[in-house]
């Protein structure tokens, strides 16, 4: 793969002028905008072989009616911890199945 032809970063403007920005520098790179619908980032999907071939961000399409979070606590920091966040394969697969059907 030629230099400069791969996903190098992800950036998303936030409220109050802040930006969530992860990845490499932007020198000489082209930015591509994507519609964010409701603004709730649900995850990412993509494909790869030796290198990453594609990456798409998945945003919730429908308006959010309400959000509720209760009793979330951690004994250890979830950042850099192998026990703080565990993958839930069946949930991820069901979301992936939903989006594959809607986006194809």
The pLDDT score that the predictor gives to residue 83 is 56
Burial class (CB in 10 A: 0-12, 13-18, 19+), 57: middle
Mean pLDDT for 79-95 is 52
DSSP-derived secondary structure letter, 16: G
pLDDT tens string 19-40: 777 776 667 777 777 777 777 8
Note if the pTM is more than 0.75: no
Decide if 60 contacts 40 (C-beta within 8 A): yes
- Would the pLDDT of 68 be above 50? yes
């Amino acid at each position: 793969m030629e230099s400069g032809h791969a996903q190098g970063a992800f950036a998303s403007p936030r409220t109050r002028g802040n930006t969530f920005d992860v990845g490499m520098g932007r020198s000489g790179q082209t930015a591509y905008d994507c519609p964010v619908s409701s603004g709730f980032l649900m995850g990412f999907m993509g494909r790869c072989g030796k290198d990453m071939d594609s990456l798409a961000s998945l945003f919730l399409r429908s308006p959010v009616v309400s959000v509720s979070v209760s009793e979330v606590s951690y004994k250890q920091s979830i950042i850099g911890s192998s026990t703080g966040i565990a993958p839930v394969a069946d949930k991820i697969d069901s979301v992936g199945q939903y989006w594959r059907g809607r986006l194809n």
